[in-house]
Amino acid sequence: MLAYSYFGEPKYYETLTSTLTAAVGITATYLNPSGLSGLPIRAALVSCETAAARFTQDGTTPTTLATTAIGHQLSVGGAIMVIGFEACKNFKAINDAASNGAVLHLTYFY
């Protein structure tokens, strides 16, 4: 069990849907939102449903199984914590299999 308060306070939520046919990341406005007096993002809780996804945190672009399958697999029902500003800024995700309809739910901590 994770103690989420360690990562800051949860302030924003975003859903990345089946548009994951090209690698996408956290929407830039959530990295350093103006509504939080300049506090940068500290962590993101990412959960996966509907279909598996692939993700990276170092700026590498993940790819699907149909190509070379770059990135870590996040299975349906799985969840990860992306910790640190750079990891959040560089986070990218894509469907594990082309057009499989992965849905990622993200909660952002500051």
Q: Tell me the domain boundaries of the chain.
A: 7-109
Helices (H) and strands (E) in the chain, counts: 1, 8
Tokens coding 51: 């279909």
Give the CA-trace dihedral at 58, 64, 66, 69, to 10 degrees: 40
Does residue 20 surpass a pLDDT of 60? yes
pLDDT in tens, 45-64: 999 999 999 999 999 999 98
Neighbouring residues of 78: CB distance < 8 A, sequence distance ≥ 6: 47, 48
Looking at CATH, the fold of the domain delimited by 7-109 is given as Jelly Rolls (2.60.120)
pTM of the model: 0.89
Give the Cα separation of 30 and 49 in Å (integer): 22
